[in-house]
Amino acid sequence: MPVMEGRSVAERWKADAANRAKACRARGIVPHLAVVLVGDDPGSQIYVRNKEKACEKAGILSSVIRLDADCTQEELESVVKELNEDEAVHGILVQLPLPGHLSEQRVIDIIDPKKDVDGFHAVNAGKLACGQKGFVPCTAIGVMKLLEAYDIPIRGRRAVIIGRSNIVGKPLAMLLLAADATVTICHSKTENLKEITRQADILVAAVGRANFVTADMVKPGAVVIDVGTNRLNGKLVGDVNAEEVSQTAGYLTPVPGGVGQMTIAMLLSNTMDAAEQYGF
Ligand code: GUN
């Protein structure tokens, strides 16, 4: 069964962002992503480090603002407000999840939508739902670019997404719908899940549970996109039982080296969109 190599597709997008960053710098604008990291969650530390490395390689300035795990909502919001006002900053990303005492929604609400390179602000979510131009969440757009790179037909096809998060499931449903798929979103309360997933030509797993998708849930020949990043016995694994599903699926994205790579590439691309809108 063919594997969809996120890594090589992502490399092309990263190279494109690097070219755009170079052109931007030549016009006197240094593209700048500010990342806000609260606390010391090990997963978040790794994600943020990877984002920093990717920015550096692409010629995008990144700065990480670290706040203690016990910081207050007001402290966090005042950092974001300062970044909103800072003309040298083009993109703002608040790494999620936040410690439990902080409201993710409230902090996302105050990010300037023009700097919201995560595409999480309600203005950008609304634009996506209405088919207007705006920032689109990186993982969701990354999945679309991966499907595109592999010439996977979408129009008229049945797409099933397992997971209804604002970060992945919902925005990806909007994008697949805009590409003329027939879209179903499944979640923890869905009845007869297997019957639904077995109808999918394109099956997306964004559940957050290791080995959740088994071979009996997959239509033979289906394209299976694994968005999961779970730690199992110290190893990074997806939401799909790859050993089983690779026998049934037509295509499968690997973990690591699949969708995760695309997420970072799309973050660079969104940051360049933000920087180019500034002063052009
Ligand atoms: N945590 C997990 N994925 C993401 C993401 O795409 N953006 C942010 N800000 N936090 C995350």
Q: What is the pTM of this model?
A: 0.97
**23/174 Cα distance (integer angstroms):** 32
HSE-up (13 A, CA, CB side) for residue 51:
30
pLDDT tier for residue 278 given thresholds of 50, 70 and 90? confident
Describe the crossing of helices 42-58 and 6-26 by its angle, rounded to 10 degrees: 50
Q: What is the DSSP letter of 98?
A: P
Residue 134's pLDDT is: 97
| Alpha-carbon distance values, 260 to 130, 188, 237, 265 (Å) | 27, 23, 11, 9
Is residue 279 over pLDDT 90? no
CA of 220 to the centre of ligand 1 (A): 32
Which atom of ligand 1 sits closest to the CA of residue 267? 6
Ligand 1 atom nearest to CA at 139: 6
CA of 234 to the centre of ligand 1 (A): 21
pLDDT tens digits for range 8-24: 999 999 999 999 999 99
Whether 51 is catalytic is yes
Catalytic pick from 118, 201, 226, 239?
A: 118
Quick one: pLDDT at residue 280?
53
234-269 tens-digit pLDDT: 899 999 999 999 999 999 999 999 999 999 999 999
**Residue ID of nearest Cα to ligand 1 atom 1:** 96
User: Candidates 118, 166, 230: which one to mutate for ligand 1, based on the most atoms within 8 Å of Cβ?
Assistant: 118
The sign of the torsion formed by the CA atoms of 181, 187, 190, 194 equals: positive
Q: In this model, does residue 57 exceed pLDDT 90?
A: yes
Distance from the alpha carbon of residue 90 to the mean position of ligand 1, in angstroms: 18
Backbone torsion region of residue 234, taken as left when φ is above 0, otherwise alpha when ψ lies between -120 and 50, otherwise beta? left
